[in-house]
Structure 1
Amino acid sequence: MSSHVPKGKLGSQGLVVSAQGLGCMGMSCFYGPAKPEADMIKLIHHAIQSGVTFLDTSDVYGPYTNEILIGKALKQGGLRDKVQIATKFGYQWIDGKLEVCGDPTFVRSSCEASLKRLDVDCIDLYYAHRIDTRVPIEVTMGEMKKLVQEGKVKYVGLSEASASTIRRAHAVHPITAVQNEWSLWTRDVEDEIVPTCRELGIGIVSYSPIGRGFLASGPKLVKNLEDGDARKVHPRFENVDHNTTIFERVQEMATRKGCTAAQLALAWVHHQGSDVVPIPGTTKRENFNENIGALSVKLTQGEIVELESFASSDMVRGDRHKWMHMSWKNSDTPPLSSWKGV
């Protein structure tokens, strides 16, 4: 199959990626048990053949097994030079609990471990997965900058970072991309984060652009969640009866437009600007094909306004996930002058 997904610049530092990426987390964890490795490798190969070359992972997915999976998939197809790998550091397990760490020695050891698991000599885009509020962001970024200078990382990013954290980080080394949750029903980044990124020439990567699957199949998704699926405890999924109205309206408009609800929700994200790259995740080829179909769904200004009215913030019940204390709203770090080292 020839490539039919356009490519474009992500941010202003030189990184070129497919206009839509592939979130790989669900292949290994969090959304129920890990899926069969051989099937996931086939799916990754299919994505790359279809022109989706921007692959998103993290060391915490598995943990570790998702990076290994991607490394194997690229090795098997000899595909390393065809893709842009984005991975992340920042979480560590301490006494069975996930904690965020932005300490320089942790940044470096995480990067070196990711390079080994991915079986590559350079990571295209390396994100701080969450912000360590005990460590000045300048200290974390200082180490990321060294990794770029040493050729271990090409470009750097932040995930779930506030506007002030983004500014401070960008002053140390240019940020290529900021990854935050952004979808029809999660729009809090629009007030400060999106304008800050645009002012600084930073690309925006939207994760969970289909509302963790809810905007694709609504209550049916919630009813069929497997044991061990983290979405079972998400407040919005616990408020499924109330939030179903949102899905029904999106579905009704999608029917009118001759596309699926998932495609409509994704198309809305694409219409936010050419500097926005959504990374919907999936473990099924048919869902992947459906998702790239969103690139050809065109929306008028009137349709965008109508669509947004279905999922205004006063209509959505429940926080976007259970771990809101780890979101960008709580990501400011102490001033650099306070840093005494570890």
Structure 2
Amino acid sequence: MNHKILIIFMLFFYNCDIPLNSSDSQIIYIESFRTNYSLESDSIYIELKIINYNKVTSITSLFSDDGGLIDTLNINDLGLDGDIIPNDGLYSIKFSLNNFQYGKNYYLENIISGNDQLLIENRIINFEENFIPEIIKIEYPSIFYLGISNWDTLDINITIMDRNGIEDIDHALYLINSDFLTKDYSYTEECDHYVLSPEEYLGYQTDPSWILQPDSVLNDSTIVYKTSIPTRPSNDCGGYGPVLFKFIIQDKVGESIQNNDEIVVEILSCGDSTCSEESPYYECSQCPDDCIENINCLEESDCSNNIDEDGDGNIDCDDPDCIGDIFCE
């Protein structure tokens, strides 16, 4: 189970005894604050980013609830418990909390002293349970036919459910493995359609721009995301072969989920030696080399040899291909 933190209220109190000749380089203040609860370790992590931290002598945090003080914490900058680098201005601590409750208000009072200054900051923190988004359905074509001369788009839809609400979804990203798709040399005029060797495989690739866009809202917790991926036409040496996809859905807390099932789309194109009658794209006249052995693409070439050359059961002048032939007039 994963969790998110909702800081429902922040209130700052400053009680600073600052020398009159002080400057910004002398004033201690909190630049950022972060906290998280881990169910696995049953612990709370607190982190403060301090400006002019070299002036700090101590940071004490009082952690309490409506029943009173729970613990007094001495926050340090030793590079422990999630703070990787020591003495970098990130003060942190991780501590266990008995009888933790979601939806309950906790109070944090940070007392920072140093350089003749005293900074007191108060926060009210409320931890809410976070549910990782779920991929309900992925809609994609198992076979995709490249256009002959025009660019086309490969459309993929993903239905996502987030029990925290669709506004909790940060983004949906796709990754592509095109290692098995034929390639084309840029320095040749012909379509090469060569295949990578295993040593050249790159695996799954992605880019920050490969983001699916919200398409339709089904209800408060379910939404459909969509992407339309441009595909190079076959006349422009568009590659063919299997393409593999992965999808990563991340919420605003940073928790993410990835599809477990392998998504494979078979790309078909002229020149791939595949003749399919399921698509009007594969007419015999458009991909003759692919369909040379397709019986439906053969013609009765000799209308006087008493042979059914196209195998359609009609011989010579009885075959529609021989209409208008001089021998059949």
- Give TM-score scaled by structure 2 length: 0.22
Relative to its length, the structure with more helix (as a share) is 1
**Which structure would you say has the larger RCO, counting Cα contacts within 8 Å and 6 or more residues apart?**
1
- Give TM-score scaled by structure 1 length: 0.22
Relative to its length, the structure with more strand (as a share) is 2
Greater C-alpha Rg = 2
